[in-house]
Amino acid sequence: MRDEAGGLRDRLQIPPPVRRQPAWLGGLPRRDLYVLPLLALATLVLLAGISEIGARIYAPAQEHMSCLVTDRTLGFSHGRPHCVETGKIPEGPEVVYSYNACGYRSTAPCGPKPPNTWRIALLGASFGEGYVVPYEQTFGARIERLLSNRCGRKVEVQNLAAYGTNLVGVYHEMGEALALKPDLVLIAIMPFDLEEGLPPDQVKMRLHPIPPRAEEMHRSPILAFAKMAKASRALTIARHFIFSDRDLYIKSYLMSGENTDFLRFPFSKPWQRRLSDFDLLLGEMATKSRAAGVPMALLLAPQRAQAALLTSKELPPGVDPRALSRRLRQIADSHGVQMIDSGQSFARLAHPETLIYTVDGHPGGKAGRVIADAVVDALVGHSRTPFAGCRLAGPAG
Amino acid sequence: MAIAAACGACGLSRHRLWRDSVLLAANLAYLATVSSEPAAFMPFATFLATGYGAIQLSSRRASGTLLAFLLIGLTIGFCWLKKYWFLAGLGFIPSPYVTIGLSYIFFRVMHLVIDAQSRGKAGRPGILSYLNYTLNFTALVAGPIQRYEDFTKVVPPLDLCIAGRAAERIVIGLFKVLVVAAIASSLHHQATADLLARHGWPERLRFGTAAVAIYPIYLYFNFSGYMDIVIGVARLIGLELPENFNRPFSSVNFIEFWGRYHMTLSNWLRDYVYTPLLRLLMTRIAKPALDPFLATLAFFVTFFLIGIWHGPTTMFVAYGIFLAVGISLNKLYQTALLKLWGRKEYRALAGRPAYRAGCRGLTFTWYAISMVCFWANARQATLIVDALGPVGIAAGILLLLAVSTIVLSLAESLHAAAGRLRWNGTPIMVSRYTRTVWAVMLGFLCVSVVMLTHSPAPDIVYKTF
């Protein structure tokens, strides 16, 4: 039929029908109305996929939570006894986490204290544990070596700190720490521990086990997408490079909301509440420690933005990166606890923020050295610790 | 949103009065975002009104003296409002006032006054057209400097192809500004801080060279990206702005460079300063043998003016001298070689790839050094000179020359290779499919960067058990 019809048109010399293009197309073929958007969509999908694959090859990561056991009713975590596992964050090196018979990240056995040995019980969360830091570079291991060298006597650190522990958990661990018969209890915190680690209900009910909480559900597709985007490696790498810019990082961090108010004085209401709760917990822990005849020290390490601000020539209005350490010193002094502010050591460096992982936010191995030096200098220079006489014993190792 | 509203409103009718009214509303709305104090606009408005009066006068009476008087008066008014250092003795308005885009308005007004003299009534714009031309929000802040006759030209109506090209242009511009220029700016800040902080000589040399080299790259991507955005936006509201950049770092000499970089500025100065000045000099000094030297002198004056137009401080006088010396040396070198070897030999030399690569590097190096006046004040410049020392400066210049020669040659080769890629006889890079993919990629990167930089900075990663 078509051939016949075509032939008839040819014979009658009727031109083929012309499909007129609307003017708004501007000469664009009609098929491009579908082809170009589809091409754009395909480009987006491909680009997102390639970026994610590229980022995963460039910066591999490995989850490492199988060794950790959390006591949800008491709020703290421990390693499984003798457990060893390897983990890696995209920004950091591969790290081996090994735990002793008590589940502490320490090489020293956790049994009865050997003779002629000083023992430090280190309490805290991920920062205290040395999360994302190879064991030898953690400040706990460095303190062990430095003090042993200086004191001419073996010093061991039993590291009870573990990823996932909050400050109420640290409070509950005090008994376990004192049972180790330590010569010093060292509590290691970062501002983040105060921000996240003092849930008001748990502080209030601190003498009782914590009631179990319902698991968070991500049923909303938007929340699920946000969670997926947050887990994207490409995003992590992009954030790492973008926020390596110190000025941008500080500016952006200070706009992050209430959690950054520890950098502003006077403190906001939530931070006043946190500091008051911490005061309460530290006071009760100090009472227990005093009763056992064990001195106590509180170690504070700065967060990345705080470290950067400590060396800023000009501070944004209202910002005071030293405000938190001043307040914590007041709290510690009031309970007879020695305050060790490693921020002062960070402030002497040119770019201290580079020692703290940009996206992850935990201090790296080099920061461990700065922190360990600050702790050792403070301990040997303080008359109430057993290490007071060590300053003359030998050079730092 | 405001730009989208202006685009939509402009599309409602093609009637001239409607378009002009919408454009004026958009221009005034844009200006209103600069200051909420009406008094702050008074000096700005007075300059505009004086300019309009000068155009009226110039178009009514053809007199060289009157024209000179008007031009000198407007120039002094402009310099005074911009607080040029040499007018400090007159005293300036103490309260803050709006000067946004005044440098570009100055050029537009001067162009209208000069042209009104020769064109009479035809060169006299109506008040609505005058305000839209001088205050055109797409070109107010950083140009381009458009001729009035081009501004009033009727452009083809918007269709899908034109809108697509405009959108592509905007995306490319955003990518240049938000990604490339932002990275270059960050690197430049870092290099400058490190240059002044580090003590080792090799490090100072490295950071000093990097700081000098990166700034022109930052400025080019920032400025040309901004141009891409405003050209795209202007096209969507029915205006066609002139191009301001044409791959300037591919230039093999300083004269060519200024024909490719901030083209509308150099073209304006060529037409209204260089050519009249050279004509005047050649008329007064009737010795053809001296013509190349007169051209060099005209170049010197023109580029010195370009330099001091950029800012009111003495650093911009230094910048003007750098530009003027660069362009004059370039002209003298060309004149000497032409005289020594003749046109044929000179052309053969200028066509050699290695010679071109070296000249490209030298052009970039000279421009990068002159740009120091842009990013360093006199105190910082002294600190940098002290940090590097004479040997360091010489070594840095040689390093910059070598690196820029190699990098720009590679960039040229890549550009040429990309242009040679073909599919069914059509260059791949101009295909609408390639351009769609490219624009989507750049857009994706822009959106990602903007979202990331405006998101809260990362805090400790912590998983609640």
B51-68 per-position pLDDT tens digit? 999 999 999 888 889 999
Q: How many domains does chain B have?
A: 2
More confident position, A11 or A346:
A346
* B127 & B168 share domain: no
Contact A350 B197 (CB under 8 A): yes
Q: Which residue of A has its CA nearest to B163?
A: A26
Instruction: Please tell me the least confidently modeled range out of A33-42, B91-100, B221-230.
Output: B91-100
- Give the pLDDT score at A236: 92
Of A44, A247, A248, the CB nearest to B440: A44
What mean pLDDT is predicted for residues B207-217? 94
Residue-wise pLDDT for B408-431, tens only, equals 999 999 999 999 998 888 889 989
CB contact under 8 A, B456 and A39: no
Cβ–Cβ gap A40/B463 under 8 Å: no
Of B160, B449, B465, the CB nearest to A28: B160
Are residues B350 and B242 part of one domain? yes
DSSP state of B319: H
pLDDT, averaged across chain B: 91
What confidence category does residue B463 fall into, taking pLDDT thresholds of 50, 70 and 90?
Answer: very low
ipTM: 0.82
Closest Cβ–Cβ partner in A35, A48, A164 for B465: A164
Distance CA B80, CA B87 (A): 6
Q: CB contact, 8 Å: A339 with chain B?
A: no
Q: Which residues of A touch B464 (CB under 8 A)?
A: 164, 216
Query: Which pLDDT value is given to residue A5?
Result: 56
B179 with B295, same domain: the answer is: yes
Q: Is residue B456 part of a domain?
A: no
Q: What is the 3-state secondary structure (H, E, C) of chain A?
A: CHHHHHHHHHHCCCCCCCCCCCHHHCCCCCCHHHHHHHHHHHHHHHHHHHHHHHHHHHCCCECCCCCEEEECCCCEEEECCCCEEEEECCCCCCEEEECCCCCCCCCCCCCCCCCCEEEEEEEECHHHHCCCCCHHHCHHHHHHHHHHHHHCCEEEEEECCCCCCCHHHHHHHHHHHHHCCCCEEEEEECHHHHHHCCCHHHHHCCCCCCCCCCCCCCCCHHHHHHHHHHCCHHHHHHHHHHCCCHHHHHHHHHCCCHHHHHHECCCCHHHHHHHHHHHHHHHHHHHHHHHCCCCEEEEECCCHHHHHHHCCCCCCCCECCCHHHHHHHHHHHHCCCEEEECHHHHCCCCCHHHHECCCCCCECHHHHHHHHHHHHHHHHCCCCCHHHHHHHCCCCC
**Same domain for B135 and B191?**
no
Q: Distance, in angstroms, between A71 CA and closest chain B CA?
A: 9
Nearest CA-CA distance, residue B196 and chain A, Å = 12
B263-286: average pLDDT: 93
Which of B86, B112, B141 is the C-terminal boundary of a domain?
Answer: B141
Q: What is the pLDDT of residues B94-121, one digit of tens each?
A: 899 999 999 999 999 999 999 998 877 7
Same domain, B325 and B185: yes
Q: Do A39 and B461 touch (CB under 8 A)?
A: no
Q: Which tokens in the block code for residue A259?
A: 């959690």
Q: Looking at the complex, does the CB of residue A162 fall below 8 Å from at least one CB of chain B?
A: no
The pLDDT of residue A376: 94
Least confident segment among A27-31, A74-78, A126-130, B81-85 = A74-78
Q: Choose among A26, A238, A259: nearest Cβ to B459.
A: A259
| pLDDT, tens digit (0-9, with 9 covering 90-100), for A176-185 | 999 999 999 9
Task: Look at residue A382 and give its three-state secondary structure.
Answer: coil
Please tell me which of the candidates B157, B164, B453 has its beta carbon nearest to residue A242: B453
Asked if the structure places residue B153 within a domain, the reply is: no
The answer to whether position B326 is within a domain reads yes
> What would the pLDDT profile of B347-381 be if each residue is shown by its tens digit?
999 999 999 999 999 999 999 999 999 898 888 88
The reply to whether B135 and B263 lie within a common domain is no
* B187 and B130 in a common domain: no
* B213/B73 same-domain check: no
CB contacts < 8 A, A to B, total 104
Q: In chain B, positions 432-451, which contact chain A (CB-CB < 8 Å)?
A: 432-433, 436-437, 440-441, 444, 448-449
Compute the nearest-CA separation of B156 from chain A (Å). Answer: 10
Q: How confident is the model at residue A106 (pLDDT cuts 50, 70, 90)?
A: very high
Buried b (16+ CB within 10 A) or exposed e, A278-316: bbbbbeebbebbeebebbbbbbbbbbbbbbbbbbeeeee
Q: Does B296 share its domain with B207?
A: yes
> Would B318 be classed as within a structural domain?
yes
Indicate whether A2 pLDDT > 60: no
User: Is residue B178 situated within a structural domain?
Assistant: yes
CA distance B441 to chain A (A): 7
A288 and B CB contact within 8 Å: no
Closest CB to A256 among B448, B459, B463:
B459
Percent of chain B with pLDDT over 70: 98
Residues of B in contact with A232 (CB under 8 A): none
| In contact, B416 and B353? CB cutoff 8 Å | no
Tell whether B428 is covered by a domain.
Answer: no
Same domain? For B108 and B202 the reply is no
Domain membership of residue B146 (yes or no) is no
Check pLDDT > 80 for residue A215.
Answer: no
Residue B106 is part of which domain span? 2-141
Structural domains of chain A in order of their starting residue, each with its CATH number: 68-210+238-392 (3.40.50.1110)
Same domain, B251 and B299: yes
Option in A47, A89, A253 nearest B457 (CB)? A253
Domain match, B267 and B413 both: yes
Tell me, yes or no, if B465 comes closer than 8 A to chain A by beta carbon.
Answer: yes
Residues of A (36-55) whose Cβ lies below 8 Å from B: 36, 39-40, 43-44, 47-48
What angle do helix axes A167-179 and A269-291 make, rounded to 10 degrees? 10
B225 located within any domain: yes
Given this model, what pLDDT does residue A366 score? 95
